[in-house]
Structure 1
Amino acid sequence: MLIRSTAALLLTAGTALAQQTDITIGMVLEPPNLDPTGGAAAAIDEVVYANVFEGLTRFGPDGAILPALATGWEVSEDGTVWTFTLQEGVTFHDGTAMDAEDVVFSLDRARAEDSTNAQKALFEQIESVEAVDPATVRITLSAPVGNLPFNLAWGDAVIVAPESADTNATDPVGTGPFTFATWVQGDRVELVRNPDYWGEAPALEQATFKFIADPNAAFSALMAGDVDAFPNFPAPETLSAFEGDPRFEVIVGSTEGETILAMNNQTLSDPLVREAISHAIDREAIIDGAMFGYGTPIGTHFAPHNPDYVDLTAKSAFDPERARDLLAEAGATDLTLRLMLPPPSYARRGGEIIASQLREVGIATEIQNLEWAQWLEQVFRGKDFDLTIVSHTEPADINIYARPDYYFQYDNPAFQALMDELAVTTNAEQRSALLRQAQETIAEDYVNAYLFQLAKTGVANAAIEGLWENSPTQANDLTAVRWTE
C-alpha cells in the first residue's frame, strides 16, 4: 500500500512537471511599436498591457478597476486631491527601483505640452503630481474627476522609468510579470517570465505573440497547433469547425470596439451628405456578410453593454430612398469618395459591402487597402481620407469627439462644453444624463456612420484557462493564464 501510494505521488509530480508552461497567442495586427504611452494602435496594448507594463490601477477581466502599482487611494472631500499609496519593493525589468518619483515622471511626461501620448486628454485635469515620499503620490486636479482611477487604468497611463522611457518603443522595460525577450518584426514578439516580479508569479514561463493577418492562415495555424489561442479570431465563418472539435474552446464575448464608417468631417462638411451616407448603410447586411452574424448594431459611439447606452439605430436606419433624397437636397451629384481600409477582416470585408451599398444610392468609392502602418500614417495622423472603417476598442471613449484635431475632425463647441462638464461631474445620475446627451448629439450630427459593436470571437486550446472572455480594454492579459493538462 505504501509502495503504491508513493508511486502515485511520483506520477502526480511527474505530470505536474510535464505541464506546459509556454503559449503562442495569435494576433491579426502587428504593433507599430511596443510603447503604450506613445502610440494609438490597439495591438500595442494587446501585447504589453498587464504583461510588461503596469499602471497605478488596471482593468480586471470584468471591467472593474483594480489596484495595480497602487495598493489603494484616498480622495479629498472636494474631489481635487487624490493620494495613492504604492506597492513597495517593485523594480523595473532593468533592476532599477520603481517609486513615487517614477509616477511623477510618467504622468508629467504623459501630460506635457510635447507629449506624444495618444490619450493625452486623460490627463488634462491634472494640475500637479508630487512625490510625498517614496511610497506615496499626491495628484492635484484643477477640477474634480470622478473617474480618475478609470483614466489611470488605461495602457496610456502605465508607469515607465526615465532611464528607459525613450527606448520603450523597441525595447520595453516595465514592472510587469513578463519581460521583453525579442521582436522578430513581421513575425512575432516573445516575452519571458519576470523572476523578480513583485506580485504573484504567472504560471506561464514564456509567451509568443504571433502575427497572422490572413484569416485562412489563422485557421490553419490553430488547426495545426502552431498557435495555442487566437483571442480575437479573424475568421468567424469557420467557428463552427472549432465548436465541433473537442480540442478547442470557442470563446464569444463582448468588446469595447465600436466599429464605424468614419467620415472626414472636413472633406464631408455637409451634414446632409453624412446623413445620406448613414441611411445608405444596411448594418445587418454588414454584420451578416463581414462578421457572419457576430456583432450588435449601434447607432452612436457607445457600447450596448454600458448601462448608459441609448439605442439610436433608428435615427440612421437603412433607407436608400431617404439617402438619395438627401444627396439631391445637398446637390451632391457624381460623388466619388476615397474609402481607406486597414487590414482587419471586418474592414476589408465590410468595405466591399459598404461600397456596394453606397453605389446603390449614387455614391462611387475608390477603395484603397492599406497596411496598418500606412493607415496610421495616412488616415489617423495625416487625415488624408474621405471614409474609413475601424473599430475603436478604447473603453468609454466618446470624449474623442471633443477633439477637433482627431482624425475625423469633428468640431462642435457645444459637444466640447458637454465633455468639459462631464469631466468635473461626480454625481452618477448627472453623469448618465450627460452621456446620454453626448450620444444623441453625435448621432444627430451624423459625425460618422455607426455600424456594430465588435464581438470578441476567440478560439483556444481546450486545455487553456484564464483567457479573458470579454475585452473591457484592448489586452491579452496572461497573468492568470495556465494549462490545465
Structure 2
Amino acid sequence: MLTYERYLALYARFAGEAGAGQPVEVTLDQLAEALFCSPRNVKLILRKLIDEGFVDWQAGRGRGNRSQLTFLHGYEAKLLEAARQLAATGEYKQAFELLGEHGGGTGARETFVAWLNGQFGYRKVRFGEDEGADMLSLPVYKPIVTLDPRNLYYAISAHMVKQIFDTLLLYDRETDKFTPSLAHAWSHDESGTEWTFHLRKGVQFHHGRELSAADVVYSLERLRGDYASGWFVRSVDSVEAVGQRTVRIALAKPNWLFPRFLCSPAMSIVPHDLAERDDEFWNRPVGTGPFRFEAWTADRFELRANPGYFKGRAHLDGVAIVTMPADTIAYSKSWEQLLMKDEAAVARPESDWEVMESVCNGCSMLTWNMRKEGPQRSAAFRQAAHLLVDRARLIRELGEDRLYPAAGFHPEERLALGPIRFDPDRAAGLLRESGYDGRPIVIGTYGLHEPDARWLQRELGSAGIAVEVRTGDHESVRERGMLGAVDALLYCVVFDEDDVSLIELYAQHGNFMREHLDGELLAWTEERIDAALGRRRPEDRARGLAEIERRLREEAHVLFLTHKKQNTFYNPHIKGVGLNSLGWIEFKDVWLDEDEPLAGSAG
C-alpha cells in the first residue's frame, strides 16, 4: 500500500494539468523532497514504481537535460484501486483514511462507497476453506463497543452478544411466555424469592467443554458491582450450584419478573474457566451461541456458524459487520437495505421485493440534567420547553425515519395520551414564571441525533431560550465531562424486553436517564421498582412502573420527541428475515431459496 501512497503523492505534486500519460520534467532531488527521503532511497522507490507499472522514467542524459516522469494511471483510478485492495482484506478504516488523505477535490469517496455497497448483503464467498459459503455482510454506523454482557449499553453490542452466548431462558413476545434455552426446566417458591433452574445436558461451549452449573454461578456473580448490568443482580442474595446441572438463586426481595431478567443478553452465560483466567477473553469471547467469534478489528466484526449449536445450526455460514464512517450515511446503504439485488435500486426497490416496516419500540427524547445547576432545575422552565416543541413540524421538516410525535416511551401510548400540546403563548408565561434570564443551556448529543438537536436549537432560540449544542460519539458521551456537564442530553432509547428495558432506564449505572435524575427522585423510583417487582400479576407490575413514567412526564423531566420507523427491503427469495426486539434480524434464521438465487450473488 505504501507504493500507492507514494504514487499518489508524486502525482499530486508533479502531474499538474498534463495528467496521466504525459511526461513531466523532474529531478531526483525534487522527487526526494516530495517523498521526504534521500536521493539514494528515491532511486529504490522509483525502481519499484517502474517495476509495478505505475510510472515510466526517462533519465536525462548530458548536462542540462532533465529527466522525464510519466504517470501511467489516472489519480482517482489508482486511489480507488488502493482503497478497494484495503477493503478486500478487511481494512476498511485504512481505506477511508487513505481516501480522506488523498481524495480531496475528487469523487473517489462517493465512488468507493457505491462500490462497497455492492459488496454488502447475502453473497456466496470463500470463507476459510469453504469456496461457496453463505455470507451476510452488513454496514453499520455505530461501533460495537463491547462483547462483555457485564457492560452492555447499546443495542448493536447486545445483539452481537446474543449471537455468541445464550441465556437460561428466552422470552417470546408473541405469546408473552418464557421458553427453555440453556435451562430446560425451572421452578420457584411461593414468595418469589427462590428460583431453581435445571440445565440441559450436552450443551457445548465453542471451545468444546460442556456447560455446567458452575458457569451459571460465575456468570451471575461477576455482574455484582457498579457495572452496566449490575442492577440485574441487585436483589440476589446467593447463587448456588446444586449438583452439576442445577442452580438455585435466592433473592432478598420478591421478584416475579426475575425470569424475564434472565432472558436479557446481560445475563448471558459465559465459560468460567476461560473468563476468570484470561484478561483477553472479551476480545475473543467463547460462548454456546449459534455463532462463534471469528475476528474483530476497529472496522470489521466476523462471526462463523456454530455447527454443533444445540438448537440447530444456522443456515448462514458467516456474518460480517462493517463499521462505516458516520459521514457516509448520506450516500451509503443502511443495513436495513441489506438484501437489495443491486446498489442502484436503494431508493426504488423492485415491485416483487418485500418490505418489512415496523415502528421501533422506543423513542427519541431529551433528558434534563437535574444534578447540575441551571435553568433546567425549574419545572416551569422544563414545561415551557415542552410546549415550545412542535413535534409534528419536526417530523415534517427532518423526515427520514421519524414517524409519530412522542408523548411517552412506547408508540402505543400516543393514542391513549391524546394530542401533544404545542402552546408558545403558555410557554412564554412559564418562562417568565421560571425567572429564566437568557443563560444558554447546553444540549449534548451524538451521532445521528445531531439534526434533532440543531432543530431544537433553532426553535427554542426563536422563542428566547439560548441553546448551545455539544456533540460527541458513543464513547465520549458517557464521560463525566459530557454527560455530567450538559444541561440536557438528546438520544434515543430502544426497548428489548418492555418491562425489563424500562426498569433499566432507571436502575442501570451509567444509563443517561439515571445519571440525570436527582437523588430524591432516584430513591423514589427505586422504591416504585421494588414494589412493582413484588407484584405477581403483570398488569399490577405495569401500573406500578407506569407511575414512574407518569411523574417524569408531569414534571417534565423528559422531553419526549418522536417515535421512529424502520423499513427493510429484501428479495423474496431470501427467507427467515424478521426483526427482533432489538430492531435487528435474527442471523440464525436467514437463508436463501436457491431455486432462484440472487442476481450477482457470486463474489
Asked if structure 2 preserves the Cα contact closer than 8 Å seen for 1:342 and 1:390, the reply is yes
1:202 aligns to what?
Answer: 314
**2:560 is the counterpart of 1:450:** yes
> How many angstroms does 1:216 deviate by?
5.3
TM alignment of 1:15-164, pairs within 5 A: 21-49=134-162, 51-60=163-172, 62=174, 65-110=178-223, 112-113=224-225, 115-116=226-227, 118-164=228-274
CA RMSD after TM alignment: 3.1
2:14 aligns to what?
Answer: none
How far does the alpha carbon of each residue in 1:228-281 deviate from its partner, in whole angstroms, 9 at most, with x for none? 8549x9xxxx99954542575432113332321122122332222222222222
| Paired AA for residue 56 in structure 1 | L
Shift in alpha-carbon separation, 1:305–1:213, aligned structure 2, 3 A:
farther
Shift in alpha-carbon separation, 1:454–1:121, aligned structure 2, 3 A:
farther
Give the whole-Å Cα distance in 2 for the aligned partners of 1:254 and 1:85.
Answer: 37
| Paired AA for residue 274 in structure 1 | R
| Paired AA for residue 361 in structure 1 | A
The structure 1 residue matched to 2:586, chosen from 467, 473, 477, is 477
| Paired AA for residue 377 in structure 1 | E
Give the whole-Å Cα distance in 2 for the aligned partners of 1:284 and 1:410.
Answer: 31
TM alignment of 1:365-376, pairs within 5 A: 365-376=467-478
How far does the alpha carbon of each residue in 1:40-71 deviate from its partner, in whole angstroms, 9 at most, with x for none? 1222113232x111111234474754322112
> How many angstroms does 1:217 deviate by?
4.2
Q: Which has the higher contact order (CA 8 A, sep 6+)?
A: 1
**2:549 is the counterpart of 1:439:** yes
1:329 aligns to what?
Answer: 433
How far does the alpha carbon of each residue in 1:198-229 deviate from its partner, in whole angstroms, 9 at most, with x for none? 2200000010112235475475447xxxx685
2:489 aligns to what?
Answer: 388
How far does the alpha carbon of each residue in 1:380-432 deviate from its partner, in whole angstroms, 9 at most, with x for none? 8x523222221112333333336797222343143332222102111234223
**2:364 is the counterpart of 1:262:** no
SS at structure 2 position matched to 1:295: strand
1:10 aligns to what?
Answer: none
Asked if structure 2 preserves the Cα contact closer than 8 Å seen for 1:34 and 1:168, the reply is no
Give the whole-Å Cα distance in 1 for the aligned partners of 2:459 and 2:387.
Answer: 10
**2:463 is the counterpart of 1:361:** yes
SS at structure 2 position matched to 1:416: helix
2:517 aligns to what?
Answer: 409
Shift in alpha-carbon separation, 1:48–1:249, aligned structure 2, 3 A:
farther
Q: Any stretches of 5+ residues in structure 1 without a counterpart? A: 1-16
Moved more, 443-452 or 393-402: 393-402
SS at structure 1 position matched to 2:364: strand
Give the whole-Å Cα distance in 2 for the aligned partners of 1:419 and 1:147.
Answer: 11
Shift in alpha-carbon separation, 1:426–1:262, aligned structure 2, 3 A:
same
Shift in alpha-carbon separation, 1:67–1:297, aligned structure 2, 3 A:
farther
Moved more, 439-448 or 57-66: 57-66
Shift in alpha-carbon separation, 1:142–1:329, aligned structure 2, 3 A:
same
> How many angstroms does 1:154 deviate by?
1.1
Asked if structure 2 preserves the Cα contact closer than 8 Å seen for 1:242 and 1:249, the reply is no
Asked if structure 2 preserves the Cα contact closer than 8 Å seen for 1:310 and 1:439, the reply is no
> How many angstroms does 1:293 deviate by?
6.1
Shift in alpha-carbon separation, 1:449–1:313, aligned structure 2, 3 A:
farther
Give the whole-Å Cα distance in 2 for the aligned partners of 1:250 and 1:147.
Answer: 35
Moved more, 238-247 or 367-376: 238-247
Shift in alpha-carbon separation, 1:475–1:335, aligned structure 2, 3 A:
same
How far does the alpha carbon of each residue in 1:351-381 deviate from its partner, in whole angstroms, 9 at most, with x for none? 222212211221122222212222233578x
Give the whole-Å Cα distance in 2 for the aligned partners of 1:128 and 1:342.
Answer: 39
**2:395 is the counterpart of 1:287:** yes
Give the whole-Å Cα distance in 1 for the aligned partners of 2:481 and 2:564.
Answer: 21
How far does the alpha carbon of each residue in 1:173-207 deviate from its partner, in whole angstroms, 9 at most, with x for none? 2110111111121x220101113322200000010
Give the whole-Å Cα distance in 1 for the aligned partners of 2:571 and 2:327.
Answer: 18
**2:479 is the counterpart of 1:377:** yes
TM alignment of 1:210-289, pairs within 5 A: 210-212=322-324, 214=326, 217=329, 220-221=332-333, 229-230=337-338, 242=347, 244-246=349-351, 248-267=353-372, 268-289=376-397
1:8 aligns to what?
Answer: none
Give the whole-Å Cα distance in 2 for the aligned partners of 1:151 and 1:296.
Answer: 30
Give the whole-Å Cα distance in 2 for the aligned partners of 1:192 and 1:338.
Answer: 44
Shift in alpha-carbon separation, 1:398–1:312, aligned structure 2, 3 A:
farther
SS at structure 1 position matched to 2:387: helix
Give the whole-Å Cα distance in 2 for the aligned partners of 1:364 and 1:221.
Answer: 36
Moved more, 456-465 or 144-153: 456-465
Give the whole-Å Cα distance in 2 for the aligned partners of 1:43 and 1:167.
Answer: 21
* Alignment size in residue pairs: 447
Asked if structure 2 preserves the Cα contact closer than 8 Å seen for 1:104 and 1:130, the reply is yes
Shift in alpha-carbon separation, 1:258–1:435, aligned structure 2, 3 A:
same
> How many angstroms does 1:129 deviate by?
1.2
Shift in alpha-carbon separation, 1:378–1:310, aligned structure 2, 3 A:
farther
Shift in alpha-carbon separation, 1:480–1:32, aligned structure 2, 3 A:
same
Q: Higher Cα Rg: structure 1 or 2?
A: 2
Shift in alpha-carbon separation, 1:374–1:92, aligned structure 2, 3 A:
same
SS at structure 2 position matched to 1:169: helix
2:410 aligns to what?
Answer: 303
**2:536 is the counterpart of 1:423:** no
Asked if structure 1 preserves the Cα contact closer than 8 Å seen for 2:333 and 2:346, the reply is no
Give the whole-Å Cα distance in 2 for the aligned partners of 1:164 and 1:456.
Answer: 38
Shift in alpha-carbon separation, 1:39–1:437, aligned structure 2, 3 A:
closer
The structure whose residues are more often helix, as a share, is: 2
TM-score for both structures, normalised by structure 1: 0.83
1:320 aligns to what?
Answer: 424
1:349 aligns to what?
Answer: 451
What percent identity do the matched residue pairs reach? 25
